[in-house]
Amino acid sequence: MHLSSDIDKPIEQELINYGLMNFDNIFYGFLTIFQIVTLEGWTEVMYNMMDARRGWLAVTMCTSVVILCANFLLNIILAILADEISSDDLEDSNEIKRKAQVSKSILRALNQR
């Protein structure tokens, strides 16, 4: 089916997304899943999927990705990153304390001479 720019006016339609959000290849598929996970415009993607194929499958897929990925996996990833950052900060502070003790002992040794 060919869209006529005079009749259909595809630029003015809200749900087209200029053809960027689709599952035509692996790159666009990951980009579309990323958009759903970030919760930015995921309903538009779901509506486009409902118009294209089976509506119940689109609703099931989009809501399960939102529930599992956006709310659960994203929080787990953020918790892991926060834990790593805090452990790195602790190691850095221990390294600074060790260097301070070494420099104090060097100064004591120089003062004793």
Kindly state whether residue 1 falls inside one of the protein's structural domains.
no
Question: Could you give the number of structural domains in the chain?
Answer: 1
Going by C-alpha positions, the residue among 46, 48, 57, 58 that lies closest to residue 19 is 48
**Domain range for residue 43?**
10-112
Q: Do the domain assignments include residue 97? A: yes
Report the half-sphere exposure of 57 (CA within 13 A, side-chain side).
5
Q: Print pLDDT tens along the chain (113 aa).
A: 555 555 566 556 665 666 677 788 899 889 888 888 888 888 888 888 888 778 888 889 889 988 888 788 878 888 888 888 877 666 667 777 777 777 777 767 777 76
Is 15 contained in some domain?
Answer: yes
94 within some domain: yes
pTM beyond 0.85: the answer is: no
